[in-house]
Structure 1
Amino acid sequence: MKHLKSLNQYLWKYRWRFFLGILFIILSNYFRILAPQITRFVIDAVEQQLPGYQGAKKTTYDWVVYFLVEHTRSKDFGQLVLLCGLVLLATAILSGFFMFLMRQTIIVMSRHIEFDQKNAIYRHYQQLDLSFYKKNRTGDLMNRIAEDVSRVRMYTGPAIMYFVNLAFTISFCLVYMLQANPKLTLIVLSPLPLLAITIYKVNTIIHRKSERIQALLSKLTTTAQESFSGIRVIKSFVQEKAQQDYFEKNSEEYRQNTIGLAKMEAIYFPTMALMIGISTLLTILIGGIYAMQPGSNVTTGMLAEFVMYINILTFPVSAIGWTASMIQRAAASQKRINEFLDTESRIQQPADAKRPEIKGNIRFDKVDFTYEHTGIKAIKGMSLEIRQGEKVAIIGRTGSGKTTLAQLLLRLFDTNAGTISLDAVPVTEIDLKHLREKVSYVPQDVFLFSDTIRNNIAFGKDQADEQEVEQAARAASIHQEIMSFSQQYDMVIGERGVTLSGGQKQRISIARALLKNAPIIILDDCLSAVDAKTEKTIIANLAGFLEGKTSIIITHRIFSLFSFDKIIVMENGRIAATGTHEELLKTSEYYQYLYEHQQEEKEDESEISGIRENT
């Protein structure tokens, strides 16, 4: 139960539903438990009418039944049976009514808790840093917020309801059985200790198997999610059969474990039925012997009462195994949920967060950074200053640390050493939301949501109007293509923008960043999928749009048509050279090589175009 303690906050939040549910359980069981006593009274009253009746010692009744006994003494036999029948009907109706209220409080409470818990997990997921997502798979994250939370709901709803129900049912039965005949009660319930031992042993196995099954389900979900996301790669490499075999292997392991758990749980119900059957036989056998003894207070009505008690106990005692199984599964699932909820983000909101006016002055001072999950040192002792309104290009080979700079500036990661400042305020002291609101970022790995084009562009700005969306799309040179679509800006794109080309996705992502209109804009290799003509158009549009903004364009190409205030060449996490286009052509071998290689590509493209025109 230690893993389920974290749910107490929700039980307290909905305490009125919880305590009312318990009250309704008590009332429902109380009115249900009166039926055996009324039956005993009726059978004994019938028996008293038989010839040769010897009579038994006076037995005790609940106050309700005692009130009925006292007010039917003067009634004839027919009236007595009729009145008792009406009372039985009334108790059954009351028991059913309170059972309905019981479910309306506790089961509804469990749905509220499920809603709150899913929101809490999703909220926590969004607060975690990128390192967490690099170490954990999407399928596992999805499984914990869906399947695991559903199993926990079975604890906060049905398991609690049935546990409290069986506790009060057993308590009422024991009290009235002991009140009627303690010796017979102990004999009848003697199989219960063996039942308790069986439950304990089986529960231990169920808990272990439940944890294993949930881990396998996460693995299965991850496999399916990755296959669906990468379906184009799978088909292009003709790996459908291999992926199918891999999925079947994981699915078979999950099947074997779930079948093993089902077999273990199947032990419960036959065991319960056996114990109940033994108790019924003991009631009839030993109770009958006592009833035949002279002067015994055991009557035929009492035997019928005890048999009814045993039948009433059938479901609660059977539900012990079912309830225990639900609790064990919920504990295993909650343990998995707690593992993530207890994970703290390495990127923490500053205690005294500042919200300075950010104009765009950026300073890196002896910054070091190493990726924890790989151990790669991406940035090594870097110092860099970018003034407000400057347009800076960062060029370098793959893995030189260009993208890492952008992510450090946004505090998607924190530096291992050194400081990064915006307008002389360290980013670690700035309110996270305020910091990220002031930076428009187009990541290298473009991501679009499965939504309309309009909503994807307007994602970074609340309540953006249609004119603003179109203006940003024009600046990113995507407006004309959007207008050619059947539904234009209202067209819903597929998952991750699968219905669009790479260049279209990049330009919609650029439009999203431009619409945000932040004082700092970072474009991370966002023109790699567009053709030369479109690239020129976008650069021409950006020149005016970026006026007055601090702009950082990360690229592996040289934009000769764009006038940069500063170009930074990076190599192995360090700044290899800094200067203007003309200066770097004289001082940087890598920049010279890149420029010459790019010029050769342009000449080749011109020759091919000329040949096509002549043809």
Structure 2
Amino acid sequence: MKHLAVLNKYFLRYKWRFLLGLICTVISIVFSVFQPIMVRQIFDLLAQNLNNYHLISDTNLKTIFHSDFSKVLAFYGVMLLVFALLSGFFLYLQRQSLIVMSRHIEFDLKNEIYQHYQLLDLNFFKMHRTGDLMSRITEDVSRVRMYVGPAIMYATRTIFMLVIVVYLMIDVNPLLTLYTLSPLPFLALTIYYVNHIIHRKSERIQSQLSNITSIAQESYSGIRVIKSYVQEEGMIGHFEKASEDYKISSVSLAKTDALFQPSMALMIGLSVLLTIFIGGIQVIHGNITVGNLAEFVIYVNMLMFPFLSIGMVASMVQRAAASQQRLNEFLDIQPAIYNRPDAKSIDVKGEVIFKNVSFTYPHTGIQAIQNFNLTVKPGEKVAVIGRTGSGKSTLAQLLIRMYDPQEGAVMLDGMDLRTLKLEDLRTQISYVPQDVFLFSDTITNNIRFGTPEANEEAVRRAARQASVEKDILGFPEGFNTVVGERGVTLSGGQKQRISIARGLIKDPNLLVFDDCLSAVDARTEKEIIGNLYAYLKDKTAIIITHRIFALFEFDKIIVLDEGKIVETGTHDELLSLNGYYAELYARQQSGDDESVIE
């Protein structure tokens, strides 16, 4: 139960629904236990008047007795019906209170988890698979809901039913009650043993279910690669193996669950036999009446569902505990990137300083940046060039504070990024990533994703500056075209240009472009560069690329290698050094790389 203790805050939040459910449970049980009391009175009344009826069977009183006795029986019958209806009505209110409460808690819990996912840093998402994240917020939350809803409802009803019914049984005959309830200790041992097994198997099953979800999600996302390499059969086999493991574990758990029902039925059957046998002896000796015996039999049958529900509740609780443990693993993770209590707002002007920055990726241990220093003044345009893995993209990640450096500091307008509010920082910087992501929405909504208040004219202007307006107008529905998941209906170049438009529409003072023109042709690239040159006139821009834009007059070009600056200067200065930059330029000029812009 320690894993489920985190849910107590929700019970406090919905305490009035919870209390109403408990009250309705008690009232429903009270009306239920009135019924065997009335049955006892009916049996005792029959036993007491049976001899009297034989005595007057040959007299004129027979008709009067029959009429009066029929009225009494009719009264008891009506009262039994009324009590049954009232018990059912309050049982309905109980379900309305507790089950509806569980749906509210499910809603709150899913939102809490999703919001927590949003707060976690980028490293978390690199360490965990998407399918696992989805499984926890769906399957695990659903199992937790079974605890806060049906399990709580059945448990409270079982507890109150046991307390009230056992009290009434003891009031009638303590010795008969003792014999009737004697199988319970064996029942408790069975529950304890089986629960331990269920908890262990539930954890394994949930983990396997997450694995299946991850495999399916990766297969759907990578369907083009799978088909291109004709690996459909291999992926099917991989999925079938994971599904087979899940099936075996699920069947094993189902077999364990199946132990509960026969065990409960056996204990209940023994209780009924003991009640009839011991009760019959008590009736013969005159210690109890026939009505008491009938009352006891009904009580035992009333306890049948509570006893049977013990196993069901225990199974629900154990599964919920295993699921909540998995949820707590993520909910207990504190984001490495967060707003400090004294975080400050900022109006970005565009000065960027990397001061003795060193950074190693936590999930791989690879050092991307070593003792890096760079100063970018407001309004400057800086190009960052280097081989794959030289640390170019890491600079962009540090600047928008997806990561914090282990050593040194990244300064923006003279302030350490770690002292600034994340919302202010990221709102005022346009970042166009190398890995383009478009949502399954219209092109308009994708472009104004970061600026939902932007009007249609601003969207068109951004698309025009990114040289993608003509392409969009060529679609049947123009800017209202739905692009499909991850922009699957668009070409790579179109996706990149829409991503650039998304960055330009913000109109910030600081822009970071991370190799965002790799999928466009040379002519389109030249057009975009021309548009950007005019657009960036008074703005600070850091353009990360593996290409050389000869017509773009950068204030500074830096060449990275293994996380260090190996060359820096203007285009002409770097050519005169005859280093990596000059080599790359010569290779592009010779035609080995057609991406040079002339």
TM bucket normalised to smaller: over 0.9
On the 8 A contact 2:11/2:18 being kept in 1, the answer is yes
Which one-letter code corresponds to 2:323 in the other structure?
S
In 2, Cα distance between the equivalents of 1:305 and 1:131? 65
**Secondary structure of 1:420's partner?**
strand
Q: Per-residue CA shift, 1:532-577, capped at 9, x if unaligned?
A: 1101111111111112110011000001121111111111100111
2:30: which partner in 1?
Answer: 30
What is the deviation of 1:271? 1.0
Q: 1:494 aligns with which of 484, 490, 499?
A: 484
Shift of 1:427: 0.6
Q: Which amino acid aligns with 1:358?
A: V
Greater CA drift, 487-496 or 550-559: 487-496
Q: Deviations over 1:133-161 (max 9, x none)?
A: 11111111111111000000000000000
| 1:431-468 alpha-carbon deviations (Å, 9 max, x no partner) | 11111111100111111111111110010103111110
Alignment of 1:446-525 (within 5 A): 446-525=436-515
1:76 match: secondary structure = helix
Matched, 1:526 2:531: no
Is 1:370 aligned to residue 360 of structure 2? yes
Counterparts of residues 386-465 of structure 1 (less than 5 Å): 386-465=376-455
The correspondence for 1:91, drawn from 75, 83, 88, is 83
- The superposition leaves residues 104-151 of structure 1 with CA deviations (integer Å, 9 ceiling, x where unpaired) of 111000000000000000000010111111111111111111100000
| Alpha-carbon distance change, 350 to 604 in structure 1, aligned in 2, over 3 angstroms | closer
- Structure 1's unaligned 5+ residue stretches are 54-72, 607-615
Q: Does 1:50 align with 2:40?
A: no
Residues 38 and 111 from structure 1, CA distance in 2 versus in 1: closer, same or farther, beyond 3 angstroms?
A: same
1:149 alignment counterpart: 141
Q: Tell me if 1:233 matches 2:220.
A: no
* Cross-structure match for 1:64: none
Count of matched residue positions in the alignment of Structure 1 and Structure 2: 585
1:163·1:320 contact (CA, 8 Å) conserved in 2? yes
Q: Which residue of 1 aligns with 2:248?
A: 256
- Structure 2's unaligned 5+ residue stretches are 54-64
Alpha-carbon distance between aligned partners in 1 of 2:595 and 2:235, rounded to the nearest angstrom: 40
1:29 & 1:111 partners in 2: Cα distance?
24
Return the alpha-carbon distance in structure 1 between the equivalents of residues 342 and 181 of structure 2: 65
Partner Cα distance (1:603, 1:383) in 2: 30
The aligned amino acid for 1:460 is: G
Look up the SS of the partner of 2:226 in the other structure. Answer: helix
What one-letter code is carried by the residue in structure 1 that aligns with 2:233? K
Q: SS of the residue aligned with 1:499?
A: coil
Residue number in structure 2 paired with 1:289: 281
Match for residue 107 of structure 1? 99
In 1, Cα distance between equivalents of 2:445 and 2:45 = 78
Identity percentage of aligned residues: 57
The residue identity in structure 1 corresponding to 2:390 is S
User: Aligned pair in 2 of structure 1 residues 44, 574: CA closer, same or farther (>3 Å)?
Assistant: same
CA contact (8 A) 1:577 1:588 kept: no
1:132 is paired with a residue whose SS is helix
Say which SS state the counterpart of residue 3 (structure 2) adopts: helix
Deviation (angstroms), 1:391: 0.8
For 2:388 and 2:544, the matched residues in 1 are separated by: 11
Letter in 1 for 2:165: C
CA-CA distance at 1:604 after TM superposition: 7.5
Q: Which residue of 1 aligns with 2:56?
A: none
**Partner of 1:13 in structure 2?**
13
SS at structure 1 position matched to 2:193: helix
* Distance apart, 1:95 and its partner CA: 0.5
After TM superposition, the score normalised by the length of structure 1 is 0.93
8 Å Cα contact 2:131-2:214 kept in structure 1:
yes
The 1:127–1:588 alpha-carbon spacing in structure 2 relative to 1, beyond 3 Å, is: farther
**What residue number does 1:584 align with?**
574
Q: Matched residue of 2:349: which SS?
A: coil
SS of alignment partner, residue 492 of structure 1: coil
Question: How has the CA–CA distance of structure 1 residues 280 and 9 changed in structure 2, closer, same or farther, with 3 Å as cutoff?
Answer: same
1:312 aligned to 2:302?
Answer: yes
Alpha-carbon distance change, 41 to 520 in structure 1, aligned in 2, over 3 angstroms? same
Q: Kindly tell me: are residues 110 and 604 of structure 1, through their superposed partners in 2, closer, same or farther at Cα, counting changes over 3 Å? A: closer
Q: What CA distance in whole angstroms lies between the structure 1 residues aligned with 2:104 and 2:347?
A: 42
Instruction: Kindly indicate whether residue 290 of structure 2 is the aligned counterpart of residue 300 of structure 1.
Output: yes
Separation in structure 2 between the aligned mates of residue 522 and residue 532 of structure 1, nearest angstrom? 21
1:383 match: secondary structure: strand
In the alignment, which residue of structure 2 is the partner of 1:269? 261
The Cα shift of 1:171 comes to: 1.0
**Which of residues 532, 544, 547 in structure 2 aligns to 1:542?**
532
What is the deviation of 1:357? 2.1
Q: Distance in 2 between matches of 1:323 and 1:40?
A: 32
Change (3 A) 1:99 1:572: same
- For residues 370 and 602 of structure 1, do their structure 2 counterparts lie closer, same or farther at Cα, with a shift above 3 Å needed? closer
Counterpart of 2:320 in structure 1 is 330
Tell me, in whole angstroms, the C-alpha distance in 2 between the residues paired with 1:491 and 1:273: 61
Match of 1:128 among 104, 120, 127: 120
CA distance in 2, matches of 1:462, 1:388: 27
The C-alpha deviation readout for 1:318-352, integer Å capped at 9, x for no partner, is: 00000000000000000000000000111121221
The amino acid that maps onto 1:83 is: F
- Separation of aligned partners in 2, 1:329 and 1:518: 50
CA distance in 2, matches of 1:353, 1:48: 85
Structure 1 position 603, deviation (Å): 9.2
Contact 2:522–2:595 at 8 Å: present in 1 too?
no
Is the 2:358–2:371 contact (alpha carbons within 8 Å) kept by the matching residues of 1? yes
Runs of 4+ in 1 over 6 A off after TM superposition: 602-606
| Deviation at residue 297 of structure 1 after TM alignment | 3.4
Amino acid at match of 2:117: Y
Structure 1 contact 367–381 (Cα < 8 Å) conserved: yes
Q: Of 575, 584, 588, which residue of structure 2 is paired with 1:598?
A: 588
Q: Which amino acid aligns with 2:190?
A: T
Q: 1:137 corresponds to which residue? A: 129
Q: What is the rounded CA distance, in whole Å, between the counterparts of 1:108 and 1:341 in structure 2? A: 24
Q: Distance in 2 between matches of 1:491 and 1:471?
A: 17
Kept in 2: contact 1:28–1:96 (CA 8 A): yes
1:161 to 2:131 alignment: no
The one of 183, 206, 209 aligned to 1:217: 209
Q: TM-score, normalised by structure 2?
A: 0.96
Match 1:183 to one of 175, 195, 202: 175
Using the alignment, how far apart are the partners of 1:518 and 1:496 within structure 2?
A: 25
- Determine helix, strand or coil for the equivalent of 1:527: coil
1:192 to 184, 191, 202: 184
Q: Is the 8 A contact 1:3 1:335 kept in 2?
A: yes
- Aligned-partner Cα distance in 1 for 2:544–2:446: 23
Secondary structure of the residue that 1:460 maps to in structure 2? coil
Query: Is 2:272–2:297's contact at 8 Å kept on the other side of the alignment?
Result: yes
Deviations along 1:197-236, one digit per CA (max 9) or x if unpaired, are: 1000000000000011111111111111111111111110
Q: SS of 1:516's equivalent?
A: coil
- CA distance in structure 1 between the aligned counterparts of 2:382 and 2:173, rounded to whole angstroms: 93
Q: Distance in 1 between matches of 2:437 and 2:220?
A: 16
